[in-house]
């Protein structure tokens, strides 16, 4: 009966788990990166909206649009910031539109409550999926519009 070495068993185990010994080859060489395990069923993004003095702004409409490679909108989610200036956008079902390298996220911030919390300029940011901060909060500063009687 032949005995296996510990090293041989370790490499066999790694192979069964899907690890390989590729050297310095970029994933782009073989197409999209393969992932093991189930895809996440939802994606969430947190945004902190403040003015230029870092004070949170309540009531800012935050629209997240997810577009594919042909610029077609796949998902659209609209939420409002809370008293802490936080907005939580979510894609509830990623089964039909899980983001890839061509996916773009467009975040639009609009002050729609009038002068209740001050007047702020709208802002739009486009971020590629690969450039989104993982687990971090997207921080946005809005510029306040001066009131005409203060000029």
Domains parsed from the chain with CATH numbers: 43-150 (2.60.40.1120)
Q: Which of 75, 72, 132, 80 is nearest to 101 (CA)?
A: 132
pTM of the model: 0.66
- Of 1-5, 44-48, 127-131, 136-140, the range with the lowest mean pLDDT is 1-5
Phi, psi of 148 (to 5 degrees): -60, -35
Q: Which of 134, 130, 86 is nearest to 109 (CA)?
A: 86
- Assign 147 a pLDDT band (cuts: 50, 70, 90): low
Adjacent-strand bridge partners of 73: 67
Residue of 50 and 26 predicted with greater confidence: 50
How does pLDDT run across 3-19, given as a tens digit for each residue? 667 777 777 776 776 66
User: Rounded to an integer, what distance in angstroms lies between the CA atom of residue 115 and that of residue 57?
Assistant: 12
User: Rounded to an integer, what distance in angstroms lies between the CA atom of residue 89 and that of residue 96?
Assistant: 18
């Amino acid at each position: 009966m032949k005995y296996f070495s510990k090293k041989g068993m370790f490499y066999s185990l790694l192979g069964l788990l899907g690890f390989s010994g590729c050297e310095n080859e970029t994933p782009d060489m073989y197409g999209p990166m393969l992932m093991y395990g189930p895809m996440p069923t939802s994606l969430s993004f947190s945004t902190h909206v403040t003015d230029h003095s870092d004070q949170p702004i309540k009531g800012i409409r935050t629209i997240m649009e997810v577009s594919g490679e042909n610029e077609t909108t796949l998902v659209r989610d609209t939420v409002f910031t809370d008293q802490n200036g936080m907005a939580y956008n979510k894609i509830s079902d990623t089964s039909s539109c899980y983001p890839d390298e061509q996916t773009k996220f467009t975040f639009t911030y609009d002050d729609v409550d009038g002068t209740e919390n001050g007047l702020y300029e709208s802002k739009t940011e486009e971020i590629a999926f690969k450039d989104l901060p993982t687990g971090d909060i997207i921080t946005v500063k809005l510029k306040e519009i001066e009131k005409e009687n203060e000029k």
